[in-house]
Amino acid sequence: MSARTSAISKTNRGRPSFVLALHDVHPGNRELCNTFVSDVAALGVPHLSILVVPRWHGGTPFSEDLDFVFWLRQLKNDGHDISLHGYSHIDEGKGFPSPLATFITRFYTNGEGEFFNLTEESARWKIQNGLDVFEAAGIEPQGFVAPAWLISKAALGVLNEFPFKYTTALQHVDIFPTFRRVPGRTLVASSRNAWRRSLSKTWLSFLNRIARGDTILRMAVHPRDLHFPALKRKLYTLVSNAVESREPLTYAELADRVNGEETPNE
């Protein structure tokens, strides 16, 4: 898939943008995620992008959990952006082409880089089956985000076969169907163990400082981050600081602006 960098020109609105995304959402963490949505609304983010996994780690399709489906429908009706986030969020660990690829999928992502090494056929199957779960729930996702933002060239190439508005990588957002690329770095923590959590707080502060002049600031929160009070406080502080000078948007809203030739704020 080809992409060209979109021109982000200044507007008279006066504020740059902030996109907050909640990753790895599934029936098992619904209550925790619902609390987060309420908390950030109180901080000034009325709508966020909700990244939902159809069959978390190969479990039951979320469409079979009626309470979860009702909750997702309510979020969508309230203006939140619902996105397809992989299919199972785990990789099969077969045929990695190099030691570096093995390192990335085993150490960096802890075996969750599901789309990192997929063929077109496998990617197409996973995406379609994921969309089937959403259809059974009566929900149409607006975008697709690969777990850990890792996606093979072959898998990336099939995304335009589906009715998505966007996909994201760690450093940019790709908008469909125009294939415009919008730069925007992502604040994201790693909470897998104590040393990662400690380092994340320092890294988040550093990255937030150098991103102050960015037109778009993105933040990705994972439900497991919210189990650790110090890290949770740090994330909430960053959200609160961001909305003081930035306009909150969802990825779907960003895509609509770009496709409508309305540029994000700067």
Enumerate domains of the chain plus CATH numbers: 13-259 (3.20.20.370)
Q: Which of 10, 17, 20, 153 is nearest to 81 (CA)?
A: 20
Q: pLDDT of 45-86, one tens digit each?
A: 999 999 999 999 999 999 999 999 999 999 999 999 999 999
- pLDDT above 90 (res 95): no
Return the SS3 of 181.
strand
Q: pLDDT of 208-255, one tens digit each?
A: 999 999 999 999 999 999 999 999 999 999 999 999 999 999 999 999
Q: How confident is the model at residue 97 (pLDDT cuts 50, 70, 90)?
A: low
Q: pLDDT of 122-131, one tens digit each?
A: 999 999 999 9
Q: pLDDT of 6-33, one tens digit each?
A: 334 333 345 899 999 999 999 999 999 9
* CB 200, CB 176: distance < 8 Å: no
Average pLDDT value for the chain: 88
Q: What ranges in the chain are assigned the alpha helix state H?
A: 30-43, 66-77, 99-103, 120-137, 153-158, 194-210, 229-245, 251-259
